[in-house]
Structure 1
Amino acid sequence: KALAKFFSLKSYSKIALYLPSDGEISPLPLLHNKIVKNINFYLPILSKLAFQGLKFGVYHPNSILAPNKFSINEPVVHNKTLKSAEQLDVILLPLVAFDAQGNRMGMGGGYYDRALQIRKTREGWRKPLLIGLAHDVQQSQLIENNAWDIPLDAIATESGLVWF
């Protein structure tokens, strides 16, 4: 609810979310929330070419989906319509754990971190905003931060939205 309210107060038009699995918090209720308006939603798409990494394809509830190499459904879209991370306003990230400094532990593939390296190379560049979605019990004491890790800007749990 706090996340939907936050989005209703901002002028974001391109938000990436994900299809939940293995008990992850679902961002999908945002698609049907009446206070979240004029937003195009996107899902991550693994490129078949390794050097292209993670891109994002437009998604709506009626999108045609197909499984990628990890059996995760992705929207079937034309390559010319794919967005890179820096073209999005917000990315909602799934995670395994997070800490009070905004560090996150994902599933270990590094796809989001590689797609978000632009945040480390462009000084003052804060786009896209990175918001992790997690259960309160997923908070950890301290997650080791590697040189390639990109921290979160905020975390949304059942307790609310916390900024780092």
Structure 2
Amino acid sequence: MTTNKTITSPIKSDADIQDALMSNPPRRYFTRQRRKLSAQERRQFANQARVYLNKLNARLPSRAKIGLYYDGFGELPTQPILDWCLKMQFLPYLPVVGSLGQHDKRLRFVPIFQHKLINIPTRIHNLGMKQNHHRRLLWADELDVIFCPLTAVDSFGTRMGMGGGFYDTTLAKSYRARAKKPLKIGWCYDFQRTATLVRAPWDVPLDAVISPSGLRWF
């Protein structure tokens, strides 16, 4: 695990927010490490992480609705999450951006009917991510679990996202309401786990993170 440490002083103004964000490790620090991995190494790390998915089973209802995502930018592969869903007869979903207009950042989720992510017909969003389209869309609070992509996560569940703000916007309402679902779980390499990140006012923390070295609840 990396041991980057950052300032944790309270954030009170726009200037404080900007200073706080600049005090976090830059995203490229982590994305460069992801790009160095071969496809075989990514699959190996994903297979190490997948064994910890079973530790979630006792917390979930039968036919649980699970949100996952395409790993299109060198992230820890998410196919093992889909494999786990199919094995446990959970219902997997993928996020859709812009279903309510290009300026709406709230994600909605489309069901997966394939056994392999690579076989799902997709379109490339203008931000570069793959996404599927379907008329049966769910809101985030209708899911039991959402696996959230991330650049880094700290020991308190603070998540450094990909920079678009989609997941923080999507999950803000349920987080403020202290809703029990969806559980917000990170899925990442061990080098993406760091000691401390500054949490900005809009950041929605994770409930847990799974990496090749284990499952940690916050």
TM-score (norm 1): 0.88
| Cα distance in 2 between the residues matched to 1:33 and 1:133 | 14
Residue type at the aligned position of 2:193: Q
Q: Any conservation in 1 of the 2:96–2:133 contact (CA below 8 Å)?
A: no
Partner of 1:148: 202
Q: Cα offset for 1:158?
A: 0.2
Structure showing greater relative contact order (alpha-carbon pairs closer than 8 Å, 6 or more residues apart): 2
Q: Give the percent of matched residue pairs that are identical in Structure 1 and Structure 2.
A: 33
Change (3 A) 1:3 1:82: farther
Q: Which sections of structure 2, spanning at least 5 residues, go unmatched?
A: 1-49
CA distance in 1, matches of 2:83, 2:104: 35
2:61 alignment partner in structure 1: 11
The 3-state SS of whatever aligns with 1:117 is: helix
Residues 46-105 of structure 1 show CA distances to partners (whole Å, capped at 9, x for unaligned) of 015123621111123353211111231111211xx1111111000001111110000010
1:37 pairs with 2:82: no
Structure 2 vs 1, CA of residues 141 and 33 (structure 1 numbering), >3 Å: closer, same or farther?
closer
Q: What's the offset of the Cα at 1:27?
A: 1.9
CA distance, structure 2, for counterparts of residue 109 and residue 51 of structure 1: 12
Is the Cα–Cα contact under 8 Å of residues 85 and 91 in structure 2 kept in the other structure? no
Aligned-pair Cα RMSD in Å? 1.9
1:82-97 to structure 2, matched below 5 A, reads 82-97=137-152
Q: Structure 1, unaligned stretches of length 5 or more?
A: none
Aligned to 2:211: 157
State how many pairs are aligned. Answer: 161
Aligned-partner Cα distance in 2 for 1:34–1:45? 19
- After superposition, where does 1:115-154 map in structure 2 within 5 Å? 115-122=170-177, 124-154=178-208
SS at match of 1:113: helix
Greater fraction helix: 2
Gap change, CA 1:52 and 1:30, over 3 Å in 2: closer
Aligned residue number for residue 133 of structure 2: 76
* Higher Cα radius of gyration: 2
Supply the distance in 1 between the matched residues of 2:84 and 2:194 (Cα, whole angstroms).
30
- Structure 1, 110-119 or 4-13: larger mean CA deviation: 4-13
- Divergent runs of 4+, >6 A: none
d(CA) in 1 for partners of 2:98, 2:170: 11
Note if contact 1:14-1:89 (Cα within 8 Å) is conserved in structure 2. Answer: yes
TM-score normalised by length of structure 2: 0.68
Aligned letter for 1:27?
T
CA-CA distance at 1:128 after TM superposition: 0.3
Give the structure with the higher percent strand: 1
